[in-house]
Amino acid sequence: MNDDMMTVLCYVKEHFASQEVHRLDTTRLDVPGLTKSRMTAALRRLGSTDEPYILGVKADQEVILIVREITERGWDALGGGR
């Protein structure tokens, strides 16, 4: 996992912690410190590995448009615990 992926994953975690509904529309996502292209690349990698870090609704089977959950692998990468 690279720094951009970890930054996006931490952002998703913080969003889910502050919201009652665990759903994140990535089309409106603005992660501080990342350009749109870097953020999109990180989302693509987080959702497309053999064991993805996040799950959600994808466009063209590539980029997740709506994040619905962080997988166990994602939680492990974040240091465990929900």
Q: How many independent structural domains does the chain possess?
A: 1
Any domain includes 65: yes
Give residue 70's domain range. Answer: 3-77
**Rounded to 5 degrees, what are φ and ψ at 5?**
-60, -45
Any domain includes 30: yes
Categorize the per-residue pLDDT at 67 as very low, low, confident or very high, splitting at 50, 70 and 90.
Answer: very high
Q: Where are the alpha helices (DSSP H) in 1-82?
A: 3-18, 36-48, 72-77
Structure-block tokens of residue 38? 């870097």
Closest CA relative to residue 11, chosen from 62, 59, 33: 33
Any domain includes 82: no
| Bridging pattern class, strands 24-25 and 63-70 | antiparallel
pLDDT, tens only, 27-63:
888 999 999 999 999 999 999 888 999 999 887 767 7
Closest CA relative to residue 12, chosen from 52, 71, 70: 70
